[in-house]
Amino acid sequence: MEATVSAMAHSHGITPEQLRKDNPFMGELAKIGPIALVVAVVLFAIGYLMSGADEHQRFFFSYIHNYVFFTSISIGALLFTLVNHVARASWSVVIRRIPEFFAGSLWMMGIAGLPILIMVLTGKVEVYEWVNIGSWIHGAEQQIVQNKEAYLNTTFFAIRYFIYFAAFFLFGRAILLNGSLKQDNQPDGDEKDRGTMRMWQLSAPGLVFSFLLMTFFAIDMIMSLDPIWFSTMFGVYYFAGAMIGFFSTMILMFKWLQSTGRLKEAVTVEHYHDFGKFLFAFVFFWGYIAFSQYMLIWYASIPEETRWFHIRQNADWTPLSWLMLFGHFALPFAFFISRYIKRHNGLLAVGAVWMLVLHWLDHFYQVVPEYQRITGVQPGGGLGAAFDISEIICLLAIGCFWFGAFMVTAGKNPIAPLGDPQIAKSLKFDNVKV
């Protein structure tokens, strides 16, 4: 029934003029931005000061976990925007500004990550063992990590960190967001079309570089927490999760914006349906990648590879491993396969919240067991004991920063690309007709 209603209401879509009247601005909401940034700093200070007992060691694991989680969503937004330009997509134009804001604020996650960078450069807290090979790594492993020093050293880590966020600024902010904002009030014509073509052309190399940078970002931030372990699939695994986080965020973001009376006519059930389809596809893709990585390591059973999974599927962590299989893959696979659910605003949002929680837990699963490995601390009290209050504080702190960065970037700008040459076509988008 919902489909019929939407078909009646939107079969011809709205015009670009009507879009301008569809409340396409953050308006009052933009005030959240600076407030969120301040709250983020305060929460960070509280979390940091509270965690002094173990030299902030556990705190930094929480921090890295939440940092890679929120950054992955923005990286997903950057890749989504790039690939839509590469494919010359028109359906996504009307919803493209939100990913553009995330992509355009991705460079600010470079600021949020500074505590990690400083922690690495000062070398006082034992989180990344390769920072201090001499005293943090022992026995035969010392020589193995020594051989990787050309890559795993603090200076090169810092250089790479700078390159990642400089490139993310270049593609996300300077090329994509600024290029799109410029068109908002530009009169139709060659000049504007050239802007679109420029974005199309630069997005192809942008996609290649961003994917590579994302891979090494994931290797640096997560994989090198265990300096012995390696997997050629790791970048792809991070990518699969990032896209799940991104599409879930998009669903919730638009639901929230529409509930505040914004873009109520422009964004229709058709767009939610497509987010749902993408989410379904990436749930499947994530399952495929996670299975392939796990199965190949399990099958070959080479100690330096199995060690990563060995921690994660034994003792306290066992339930989390099962949760990844069933909660992150099997259950949502069955859930999102339904067309009814993908076109049902409320159910889709429930699914999106679930996937965000599971994506967060996936990063928890990737990061925090390394704390146990390094410290040798057996939580002992089941999975609950592996949690720490700093997880929640970091979730809120980095979440506020990430969201604040998004809102500050949005500011007074329209939240739909009002002047995109393809906007009229995009507003007519309908899954049934195509």
Asked if 235 interacts with other proteins (CB under 8 A), we say yes
Q: How wide is the angle at C-alpha 313 spanned by C-alphas 213 and 233, nearest 5°?
A: 25
The Cα 212–Cα 354 span in angstroms is 29
Q: How wide is the angle at C-alpha 383 spanned by C-alphas 378 and 388, nearest 5°?
A: 80
* Cβ proximity of 133 and 142 under 8 Å: yes
The Cα 23–Cα 112 span in angstroms is 31
- Of 166, 212, 350, 385, which lies in the binding site for other proteins, with binding defined by CB under 8 A? 212
Asked if 90 interacts with other proteins (CB under 8 A), we say yes
The first and second tokens of residue 119, run together, are: 């922690």
- Of 144, 311, 341, 392, which lies in the binding site for other proteins, with binding defined by CB under 8 A? 144
* Cβ proximity of 390 and 384 under 8 Å: no
* Segment interacting with other proteins, rule: CB under 8 A, options 168-176, 297-305, 360-368, 382-390: 297-305
Closest CA to 177 of 109, 243, 107, 112: 107
Asked if 215 interacts with other proteins (CB under 8 A), we say yes
Asked if 421 interacts with other proteins (CB under 8 A), we say yes
- Of 304, 350, 385, 387, which lies in the binding site for other proteins, with binding defined by CB under 8 A? 304
Residues 181-200 binding other proteins (CB under 8 A) are 190, 193-194, 196-197, 200
Asked if 15 interacts with other proteins (CB under 8 A), we say no
Only one residue has tokens 């190949």, namely 296
The Cα 434–Cα 68 span in angstroms is 37
Asked if 293 interacts with other proteins (CB under 8 A), we say yes
Asked if 148 interacts with other proteins (CB under 8 A), we say yes
- What contacts 128, CB < 8 A, 6 or more positions away? 120, 152, 224, 225, 227
Residues 95-134 binding other proteins (CB under 8 A) are none
196 versus 390: smaller Cβ distance to other proteins: 196
Inter-axis angle of helices 2-10 and 269-300, nearest 10: 120
Residue type (1 letter), 385? A
- Of 15, 18, 260, 292, which lies in the binding site for other proteins, with binding defined by CB under 8 A? 292
Closest contact distance (angstroms) between CB of 293 and other proteins is 5
- Of 297, 324, 348, 355, which lies in the binding site for other proteins, with binding defined by CB under 8 A? 297
72 versus 426: smaller Cβ distance to other proteins: 426
* Segment interacting with other proteins, rule: CB under 8 A, options 157-165, 172-180, 263-271, 283-291: 283-291
Query: What phi-psi label fits residue 301: left (phi over 0), alpha (psi between -120 and 50 degrees) or beta?
Result: left
Give the residues lining the site for other proteins (CB under 8 A).
Answer: 12, 88, 90, 144-145, 147-148, 151, 190, 193-194, 196-197, 200-201, 204, 208, 211-212, 215, 228, 230-236, 284, 288-289, 292-293, 295-297, 299-300, 302, 304, 421-422, 425, 433-434
